[in-house]
Chain A
Amino acid sequence: MSAFVGYTGRLTLNGLHATLTVCVLMVDTLYWATVAPLRGQGFRLKNAVSQFVEFGAHSLPIVMLICFLIGAIMAMQSSYQLARFGAVHLVANLVGIAAMREFAPLMTAIIITGRSGSAITAEIGTMKVAEEIDALEVMGLNVTKFLVVPKFIGMLLAVPMVTLIAIATMIFGGFLTSAVVIGLDASSYITQTADALVFKDLVVGVTKSIFFAIVICWVGVYRGFQVYGGAEGVGKETTSSVVTSIFLIIVLDMIFTVFFYFV
């Protein structure tokens, strides 16, 4: 019993400590991303751009491929069910709304977590193990400004943009399957999609993706700074970075879905 109490107590304390650390990191990042550049304390624009390209442009091929396939799968699966009610034309609504509000943001976030969330943790962790973080500090360079802010800005731009492309690809996947495999009329599919989607769907999708970007970046950075020991520590934290990030993304998605259901 006391072991259990001790265990839960420790878990709570650790959780609180992690939350506190992340909050400090957030405030610091926001300061160095917004206030500091205005005060002339510098902003590593080139670095942010290269991170944006790495997180965004380089993840496009795999994101587009996966989203195309998921669009196709959704069309096939739903046409099967909808056909029984003679409502096959509603495939367009289902694919369009699900892609925009749910699956494109979610898949994009998960793929970028796997590609870049892990890379962020590994990079910062390796730098920590090799005393490179200490070297920055001794030089009087701010670690947040130098390492975290470019990643944060890059991620904040990359995820929503990739999500937009993912939405289009997913809808296109559904469209192509419906037109070619299911045999729906192409032009009426397009008008059906256009009628089904409202601006709010896009707002929901993009809002989600912005929050997913924040989660991916901060979990990656936080886990990276948690690394201690050697290469082993880097591996451990990288794994846990991906798991934590995907878990938080799905929980957040759930919260958003409930929220937008009622709003």
Chain B
Amino acid sequence: MGMAVTSDTMVDVNDLVVKYGDRTVLQDIDLQIHRGETFVILGGSGCGKSTLLRNLSGLMRPHSGRIAINGDDFTAMSDNERVAIRKKMGMCFQGSALFGSMTVGDNVALPLREHTKLEPSTIDIMVKIKLELVGLSGFEDYMPSELSGGMKKRAGLARAMAMDPDIIFYDEPSAGLDPIVAAGLDELIRKMQHTFALTSVVVTHEMESVKLIADRVCMLDKGRVIAIGTLEELQKVDHPFIEQFFERRPDAYGEDSADYHESLTGDTE
């Protein structure tokens, strides 16, 4: 781990501010994600991890700030201009988000059918390869509802990998899975990154998977980045929240949550 920091930046975020209505959820986010690394976004529940991921993947437009992907200003693009970048982007959703009306095979084949002019027989082979990659060979004809939670996540990963993306986003890949399945998924994330030189951005709050997969970690708290670095570097940072997070201590400072609530709602009471 601790991959050498290259100047090759895949994702460049500058002064990002995200609001839901009047409520500021993310503030002054500045970070760079390097090509080929696994970048983990850590933080407590509700601190804005999913929101950050939604902005990076273009599902949400930020209030202000700039996100560049591969050097292209993603935030300034129209939806049509984004399609080209999106073809090279994969996303694994928290709840897998497989299309319930299609078989697993059709789910994986969909982006290929829509974005390429490949022969159906070629697509079939590619679907088989992708499913094998995630350990689901033979499940082409299953419906998503017939899969277990862990299998759904794997199928979601196979679909995200369908177009051979350059960058892949994972939202809580191991949430709600037993430790063995979760470890299997971590291994899969690692394998994908190594085999395909994939830039991976992983949102999680499981320390165990962070130790396994992270090249660099970004710690979010109350909508701000409080530290970025390797896990070792972060563990040395002297910050009450980071220490608390790593030691799994419950909240002791109640007045801080009140501040947070205030900052979110603009409520001064």
Contacts and interface: CB of A to CB of B under 8 A. Distances in A.
Contacts of B71: none
B134 to A, nearest CB: 16
B59 interface: yes
Interface in A100-122: none
Chain A binding site: helix, strand, loop or mixed by DSSP?
A: helix
B94 A140 contact: no
A229 to B, nearest CB: 14
A141 B59 CA distance: 12
Contact of A140 (B86, B93, B99, B100): B86
B26 interface: no
Interface string B68-109: 000000000000001110110111011101111100000000
Contacts of A123: 101
A125 B168 CA distance: 26
A126 B100 contact: yes
A131 B95 contact: yes
B209 interface: no
A134 B95 CA distance: 12
Given A130-B100, A134-B59, A140 B87 contact: yes
Nearest to A138: B91
Interface stretch (B38-46, B110-118, B231-239, B257-265): B110-118
Interface string B12-41: 000000000000000000000000000000
A155 to B, nearest CB: 18
A69 to B, nearest CB: 34
A233 B192 CA distance: 37
B100 A138 contact: no
Nearest to A139: B111
A138 B86 contact: yes
Interface residues of B, number: 26
A130 B95 contact: yes
B94 A131 contact: yes
A185 interface: no
Contact of B59 (A126, A132, A138): A138
A140 B97 contact: no
Interface residues of A, number: 14
A139 B114 contact: yes
Contact of A132 (B54, B82, B87, B97): B97
Contacts of A137: 58-59, 86
Contact of B114 (A126, A132, A135, A141): A141
B95 A139 contact: no
Interface in A42-98: 42
Given A137-B59, A138-B59, A130 B87 contact: no
Contacts of A139: 86-87, 110-111, 114-115, 163
Contacts of A132: 97-100
Nearest to A141: B114
Interface of B: 54, 57-59, 82-84, 86-87, 89-91, 93-95, 97-101, 110-111, 114-115, 159, 163
24 contacts: A126-B100, A127-B99, A127-B100, A130-B95, A131-B94, A132-B97, A132-B99, A134-B93, A135-B97, A135-B99, A137-B86, A138-B57, A138-B89, A138-B90, A139-B110, A139-B111, A139-B114, A139-B115, A140-B82, A140-B84, A140-B89, A140-B115, A141-B110, A141-B111
Interface of A: 42, 123, 126-127, 130-132, 134-135, 137-141
Closest 10 CB pairs of A and B: A140-B86, A131-B97, A135-B97, A140-B83, A138-B91, A131-B93, A139-B111, A132-B97, A140-B87, A134-B59
